[in-house]
Amino acid sequence: MFKHWQYKTKLYKVWCWMKSRCDDKNHIRYYIYWWKWITYDSKWKTWEWFYEDMWADYKEWLTLERKKWNKNYCKSNCKWATYKEQARNTTRTILYKWKCLKDWCLELDINYSTATTRISRGKSIEQTLELI
């Protein structure tokens, strides 16, 4: 394989990780992506195109995130996000009025573990956040 000066950079590794999630059957997340038919733009098979599309806004502390979780990796559906943003943009995140439960807990000074326990025991979000 042709090696270039960027093959040791974090940006190059992000590209490799994205491809392996979609292509490598041994990757721990492969079947989740396969089941949802998530793949990447065919031009992103080559590093040069991925680099051309994504390098401008890239910062070392950011991660690659899909804007719409059920759509493919491509320039129009990807952005750079912090780890905190990405952790809150998962399918497990509980949303109420377009804000995640963790943010509500911080704002209302409620312990997050307490809130998730209340919800798991059948309380509504309003009851959990003591809004009623």
For the stretch 56-80, pLDDT in tens is 989 989 999 999 888 999 999 999 9
* SS3 call for 81: strand
Report how far residue 105's alpha carbon sits from residue 125's, in angstroms, rounded to the nearest whole number: 11
Q: Which residues pair with 66 in a beta bridge?
A: 78
How confident is residue 6, by pLDDT bands cut at 50, 70 and 90? confident
Q: Residues of the chain with pLDDT > 70: what percent?
A: 94
pLDDT, position 35: 83
Is 0.85 topped by the overall pTM?
A: no
